[in-house]
Structure 1
Amino acid sequence: RDRTYKDAFWQDRDFRVVDTGGLVFDDDTEFLPMIREQALLALSEAKAAIFVVDGQEGPTAADEAIAHLLRQQSVPALLAVNKCESPEQGLIQAAQFWGLGLGEPFPISSIHGNGTGELLDELITHLPPTDELEETNEIRVAIVGRPNVGKSSMLNAFVGENRAIVSPISGTTRDTIDMVVQRNEQVYRLIDTAGIRRKKQVKYGPEFFGINRAFKAIRRADVVLLVIDAVDGVTEQDQKLAGRIEDDGRACVLVVNKWDAVEKDSSTIYDYDKELRSRLYFLSWAESIYVSALTGQRVPKILDRVDAAAMGHKRRVTTSVINEVLEEATRWHTPPTTRQGRQGRIYYGTQVTSQPPTIALFVNDPKLFGESYRRYIERQFRDQLGFTGTPIRLLWRGKKVREVERRSLNRATKV
């Protein structure tokens, strides 16, 4: 139903393909005018169009209506006659479509790939010459949440046009939709996803696979915007989504949408934020922002939070700085001691990777460090090193592991 963007490559040419919903001119449902608007918007920003028809069914009145529309556009349109599985029979099937007035029909088979090479050869002749694409340091942002919390409205507010279909009916967005926007010198790839329902409420079908794509979008994102409905508050599904974000190690911003619909007094936002943090305690490190995608209130500031979270997610810190933090932290709060008098010792720490920041701590025995002290050390790293809006992974490694690594290093040095 939405415009879905995918990058493509043919004959040393990079280009972007936009897939739209099927064009229907009978407005049987409220979606059809919006789907038609999406297709026309895609056409307006395209350099060429491919009109796909059904070769087995033959020309229809709907095909003629779409062809009439395309003939009125300045964009060159190629006619692809699909379901021509047999090359010989395909020529006969394609010949039926000369009457649409769009030039030579190209018989193709999407299943087998027949004829697609000839179609693409013709397509790239209509694309403008491009220099080699510059590398962009883009931030991938996934917009996730339950159905109808305003994810698509938020995407539209970012982009400034109705690119994702917005409707009060749950489940409107079934695809993950990428849109690239730029603010100042920073490029963002915004990914709007299908709403996540409880598993019992989702039947196998387009929406089921849309949810799986949403989970994949979380995994490939740098920063996830978890959109909460301000009126409904935090639900069990929101908590499950938050857990997924934490498990996948993604940076996150908590976006409380529809804030304009909440009656407020001087303490409302503080009370709400306290409840938000209580229900989503495992995302305690994520910044929150209260917005209205409908009115645009504070929506531009979301990207400021995204910038900070992405920076924290990619942040790397030298070993010397990490050990300075550890030294100060253990001075203020010494590691725990067992009843038998055995005390935990942290020898040193080093960051082993980023996205999310992961720090290995070499200690005498990981079992000597309980959850309370581990959280204390994590807070010190977060407060002192600027890991904003991102989870931190701490790897507590025992002395024996450290000695094995030292021996391995010595052997490598001798070689």
Structure 2
Amino acid sequence: MANIVAIVGRPNVGKSTLFNRLIEQRKAIMDDESGVTRDRHYGYAEWTGKFFTVIDTGGYVTGSEDKFESEIRKQVQLAIDEASIILFMVDSHAGLTDLDKDFAKVLRTSKKPVLIAANKADTTEKIHMTGEFYALGMGEVFPLSSASGSGTGELLDEVVSHFDEGEKNAEDGIPRLAILGRPNVGKSSFLNALLGQERTIVTDEAGTTRDSINMRYRLYNKDFILTDTAGIRKKSRVKEDIEFYSVLRAIQALQDSDVCIFIIDAERGLEAQDMSIIGLARKYNKGLMIMVNKWDLIEKDTKTADIFRKSIEEKLGTLDYIPIIFTSVLKKQRIFQAIEKAINIFNSRTQKIPTSRLNDVILPEIERNPPPAIKGKYIKIKYITQLPTYAPTFAFFCNLPQYIKVPYERFLENKMRKHFDLEGVPIRLFFRKK
């Protein structure tokens, strides 16, 4: 059984701060406003050679003004069901509250080991005040400060003592697919439809997802990690701090990914803001595909998809190698084909083409269409090889590399794509002196 630790508790006790400390990354957004975390949020941690999964959850609350309250409670309950051990976080500064007592009753029904983490115990006086949490009758209380890290070692020693053995770091070498797009195009609905469960909270309100949510997924006998991100909108429209951090997390997810699944709304088409994010993914040499969602809402005839595709390709310009797939997440139309396409892009992006095959295929193309002569000088390309880089990069060795112009470089790129299945994959060509 996997080692899974869920961090739970009422709002604003420091769950996300502890989560970030355990996974040693600033993955969850933290703010003094309560209710910042809404979805379950996963990361990997290691202590004394034992790896385990950590789940951050939203603050458990009843009778609040927050319209997400019942959805957050559902996500907390799912995390409790999934966990092998529960960290019940309380605030030593505020002391034992009625909400803590009510939540303790919920945890008792889980029959899972529960450790009480009394946060904000950063002075001797506060550490003495944590004694009142023994009244919950749930065993040992661990005073700690998730902000400074004091006391977390003792807590983690107890946590890992419950594991039979440490699991391997489960994320090594697994393809990472980031789901990106503007607010409200259906990113979280897409993730939920794939998983067949309410993994993230979905509402008609733009900006429901705030953090980037990682989820392990298996399809066609292949494991990969899906990352649902917050919608990225124009800087001028970003009003609150939390949304600013959400956008930063989405861009971080883009940088960490292998392939970006970029979702657009069929009713709005490809907008300027979309192009700037696609451009960013190209800058970082990520695999890319465009998923047109809500295609079921468009009135169609036999030519609608072709016309729509052409209009997108015109806007993409030199990025017209990006595949486009038409889907309806609501009706589950072609959503699995979209994932299959993303996996193909990952495989193409990581392929290593033998040097002999490169030369056998591309040199005859160059002979048929040699580079144009410049100032009476003829350019001769003698040899091609793939360089050992993260994204497909090829070196062309020739006598006059400085005279090769952009149109001919584009010609070579198109021939490479045609022969070596590089759909959706950014490639780089370098010309060097032989």
Give your verdict on TM over 0.5.
yes
1:21 to 2:58 alignment? yes
Q: Which has the larger radius of gyration?
A: 1
Once the 2 structures are TM-superposed, how far is the Cα of residue 60 of structure 1 from its aligned partner?
1.1
State how far apart, in whole Å, the 1-side matches of 2:172 and 2:83 are: 22
Tell me what 2:243 maps to. Answer: 207
State how far apart, in whole Å, the 2-side matches of 1:262 and 1:130 are: 51
Tell me what 2:104 maps to. Answer: 67
Which amino acid is 1:40 matched to? Q
Which amino acid is 1:378 matched to? E
- TM-score, structure 2 normalization: 0.88
145-154 or 162-171: which moved more? 162-171
Tell me what 1:396 maps to. Answer: 431
Secondary structure of 1:51's counterpart equals: strand
1:50 to 2:112 alignment? no
Aligned partner (choices 131, 137, 147) of residue 111 of structure 1: 147
Q: Is the 8 A contact 2:383 2:397 kept in 1?
A: yes
Which amino acid is 1:341 matched to? G
Once the 2 structures are TM-superposed, how far is the Cα of residue 91 of structure 1 from its aligned partner?
3.6
Once the 2 structures are TM-superposed, how far is the Cα of residue 184 of structure 1 from its aligned partner?
3.5
Once the 2 structures are TM-superposed, how far is the Cα of residue 256 of structure 1 from its aligned partner?
0.6
316-325 or 300-309: which moved more? 316-325
Secondary structure of 1:280's counterpart equals: helix
Aligned partner (choices 114, 119, 123) of residue 82 of structure 1: 119
State how far apart, in whole Å, the 2-side matches of 1:166 and 1:13 are: 34
State how far apart, in whole Å, the 1-side matches of 2:152 and 2:125 are: 16
Q: Is the 8 A contact 1:179 1:191 kept in 2?
A: yes
1:352 to 2:387 alignment? yes
1:159 to 2:190 alignment? no
- TM-score, structure 1 normalization: 0.91
Once the 2 structures are TM-superposed, how far is the Cα of residue 351 of structure 1 from its aligned partner?
0.6
Aligned partner (choices 53, 61, 73) of residue 36 of structure 1: 73
Tell me what 1:381 maps to. Answer: 416
Aligned partner (choices 353, 361, 371) of residue 325 of structure 1: 361
Tell me what 2:341 maps to. Answer: 305
Once the 2 structures are TM-superposed, how far is the Cα of residue 143 of structure 1 from its aligned partner?
0.5
State how far apart, in whole Å, the 1-side matches of 2:274 and 2:400 are: 37
Measured against aligned partners, the alpha-carbon deviations of 1:28-55 in whole angstroms (never above 9, x if no partner) come to 2321111111111111111011111110
Secondary structure of 1:154's counterpart equals: helix
Distance 1:149 1:131, change over 3 A: closer
Once the 2 structures are TM-superposed, how far is the Cα of residue 272 of structure 1 from its aligned partner?
0.7
224-233 or 351-360: which moved more? 351-360
Distance 1:134 1:143, change over 3 A: closer
* Structure 1: gaps (5+ residues): 403-415
1:9 to 2:55 alignment? no
State how far apart, in whole Å, the 2-side matches of 1:222 and 1:342 are: 41
1:363 to 2:404 alignment? no
Q: Is the 8 A contact 1:138 1:186 kept in 2?
A: no
293-302 or 129-138: which moved more? 129-138
State how far apart, in whole Å, the 1-side matches of 2:126 and 2:67 are: 36
Once the 2 structures are TM-superposed, how far is the Cα of residue 263 of structure 1 from its aligned partner?
1.1
State how far apart, in whole Å, the 2-side matches of 1:136 and 1:354 are: 18
Q: Is the 8 A contact 2:93 2:126 kept in 1?
A: no
Tell me what 1:269 maps to. Answer: 305
Secondary structure of 2:76's counterpart equals: helix
State how far apart, in whole Å, the 2-side matches of 1:292 and 1:365 are: 51
State how far apart, in whole Å, the 2-side matches of 1:383 and 1:280 are: 18
Once the 2 structures are TM-superposed, how far is the Cα of residue 136 of structure 1 from its aligned partner?
6.3
Which amino acid is 2:384 matched to? G
Distance 1:129 1:237, change over 3 A: same
Q: Is the 8 A contact 1:6 1:17 kept in 2?
A: yes
State how far apart, in whole Å, the 1-side matches of 2:132 and 2:428 are: 62
State how far apart, in whole Å, the 2-side matches of 1:48 and 1:282 are: 51
State how far apart, in whole Å, the 2-side matches of 1:270 and 1:314 are: 30
Secondary structure of 2:396's counterpart equals: strand
Measured against aligned partners, the alpha-carbon deviations of 1:128-148 in whole angstroms (never above 9, x if no partner) come to 445656786521100110111
Secondary structure of 1:256's counterpart equals: strand
Secondary structure of 2:342's counterpart equals: helix
1:126 to 2:162 alignment? yes
Pairs aligned (count):
397
Which amino acid is 1:384 matched to? H
Secondary structure of 1:208's counterpart equals: helix
Q: Is the 8 A contact 1:250 1:355 kept in 2?
A: no
1:188 to 2:219 alignment? no
Secondary structure of 2:214's counterpart equals: strand
Once the 2 structures are TM-superposed, how far is the Cα of residue 286 of structure 1 from its aligned partner?
1.7
Once the 2 structures are TM-superposed, how far is the Cα of residue 159 of structure 1 from its aligned partner?
1.4
CA RMSD of aligned residues (A): 1.7
Once the 2 structures are TM-superposed, how far is the Cα of residue 367 of structure 1 from its aligned partner?
3.7
Distance 1:324 1:223, change over 3 A: same
